Structure 1
Amino acid sequence: MVRKTTLESSVEKILEELGNAGYCPSTVQLFKKVYERLLKSAAIMRVDTLSDELVEHFVNDTAHRRTGQYCHSRKKLHTSCIRKIREYEEKGYFGWQPSKDSKVDKPSSVKFQELHTCFIEFLKTEKKSKNTIESYRNISCKFLMFIEKSGYTDLKIVPLESTLKFFDKLRETWEAGSLRTAASGLRSFLRFAEDERLISAIPDKLLRKRTIIPVLTEEEEQAVWDVLQTETISSRDKAIMTLLLLTGIRAVDILNLRLKDIDWQGDVINIIQKKTNEPLVLPLLPIIGNALVRYITHDRPRTNSSFVF
C-alpha cells in the first residue's frame, strides 16, 4: 500500500471536515478540485509538505485554464485553500464554518457558483463582519441569478442596462434606503470580479435609509451635562452618557464593552468595533474614568459577566 504524504493526509482530512461542517456537496467538490491541483503541483515539485516554495507557486498559479489569462477568482480560491490547510496544520482544528445559506437560492451555472463561492471566501479573508458578509452574499447572489434569467452566463457580455434593470426590480420590494446597501455590496462583488464596466452602471443617487440626526446645540449639550451632575439618574446611565458625549462611540460598542478593554494604567480603552471589525483606541479621560469607577465599584451588580454594562 502506498503511504500518503503529510500534505495528502491534510487534504483528505480537510475535505472530510468540510462535509461534516455543513458545506454543500457542490462547494466540497469545488475545493476538492482545487486541492487536486495543489497535490499535482506538489508531486511535480517533489515535496510532500506545504513548503513556502509550493505555496508561492500555487498562489501565483492564476492563469485561467481555457484562456490562459489572469483569473482573479482562481487566485482568491487558491489563497483560501492555502489558508484552510495552514490553519489545520498549525492549530489542529477548524475555525471556519460555511455561510448559513444552504437553503438559499444560488446561481445555476457552475461558473457563477464558483465565482460566488470565491467572493464569500474573499470577504472572510478580509475579516468582514458576519452582517456585511451576509448582506454582500445576498445581493451578489440576487444579481447573478437576475442576469442568468436574462440569458447571460458571463459578466463580460452583460449589457450596462441590465444593472439598471436590476435596481429597478429591487425597488419593487426594497425600501429606498436599503438600495444604498445593495449598491455598496454589488460594487464590492464587481470589484472582486474585476468588472469596472458594470460598476459604472450602478446608480449613485440613492436615498439614505434615514436622515442624519443633527448635532446638539451648545445649549442642548450643556443641558445634558447639567442633568449628569445631579442625582436624578443612575451611575450606570451617567457612565454611558459620558462615554457617548466624549468619545462618539457607537451604542453597540458600549453594549459590548468588557472590563478587560479598559486599560487603567495606560489611560485608554481598546475595542474592536462591531460594525467595521476594526480596532479603536479611545482616551480614558479622567471624567470618563471617574464615571466608570463609580458605577463599577458601587452600583454594578455582582456577576461573573465580563461585560461592563
Structure 2
Amino acid sequence: MRSVGITQGENRFLRRGIQWLRFLGWLDEPEQEHHAHHGEVAIFEKWLRQERGLSTATIQDYCGAADRFFFWLAGKGTPLDAVQITDIDDAVAAEHRRGAWSRRTIHDYAQRLRPFFLFAEARGWCRAGLAAGIMAPRFMVDQIVPKGTKRDDVLRLLASVQGDRPVDKRQRAILMLFVTYGLRAGEVVGLRLDDLDWENEVIRVRCPKPGRTHVWPLSPDVGNAILRYIREARPTGLGRSLFVTSHAPIRPVGRKTLGKIVRDRLAGISVVSGRRGTHALRHAAAQHLLDQGMSMKVIGDFLGHRDPSSTTMYAKVNLAALREVAAFDLEGLA
C-alpha cells in the first residue's frame, strides 16, 4: 500500500506549479500576519526605497527588525507613542534570553531598530530621543574569526561542477565568481551581460548600495566559465541579467537561489556542518589571498571592504595590484 506522504518528484512538481501560478498572478495566497503598526513600517519602507535608495536586502533588514519589535510589543499592549527606551532594551534582551541568535545577530537587531525610530521621531510617531538611547550589545569586529570553507573543500566543490549539463555550466560560473573574487551574493545577482568588458578583460560589479561600482580584472578561468555558460547554457531573449533560473518561469536568479546552490553543492561533497552559505566562500577567498602573502590593504580592495582600516577609498582600487591577485595560481580551481 502506498504511503500517504508525497514523493520528492511530486513535491518538486508542486513547487514549480506554485511558481507558475504566482508568476501568472493566479495564486490566491493567504495574507501575511500584520501587527498594529504595519502601516507605519510600510511608510518607512517606501521612504527607504524612494528617498534613501537603499538596496532591497538592507530595506528588508531594517523593516524586518521593526516588524519583529512590534510583534514583541503587541504582547505588552503598548502603542508606539508610549514606547520608552526600556521597552526597546527589553525587546533586545528577550532575544538574548531566547538563545537562538548569536551576539552579532542581537547586536545587528538593535542597530537596525535605530533607523526606524529616527524616522518615527521625525514624524512625531514616538517620543524624541529613543533612537539616540538605543544601545546595541557590545560586539567586537575581531571577536570571532570568520570561518570560511576549507581549501580542499573548495577544490572538491568546483570539481563537482565539471559536467556538461546546462545547470552545471551555470553553477560553475557562479561558484568561480564566489571562490575567485569573494563576491557577495547581492553582487553576483546584480551582474549583467554589459558588465563584462571582454576587450579590456575587466568585470564591473555593482555593490548593493547606491552609487558604487567596482572594476575587477577578469581572470581567464572565470571568463572562460562565464563565456561557456553564456554560449551553451543561458537562454536568449530574456533580458540583460547575467544569471537566470534554470527552470520555468525563467527570471533573474535571487540571493536565496545562490545560497541554495552553494549549500546543495557542499552537501553533495559531504560538507554538512559549519557555515555553508555564499559568505563562507567569500571568507575562503580572503583567507587564500592572505595565505599567499597579499597585504590586508590589497585584500580589502579586492573584496570591496568599506572599513577604513582595510581601504581608505572604497571606490578607488589599484587595478595593477589587483591584476597580480587575479593572476595568482588558482591551484586546481580552473
User: Structure 2 length normalisation: TM-score?
Assistant: 0.43
User: Structure 1 length normalisation: TM-score?
Assistant: 0.46
Higher radius of gyration, 1 or 2: 1
* Greater relative contact order (Cα < 8 A, sep 6+): 2
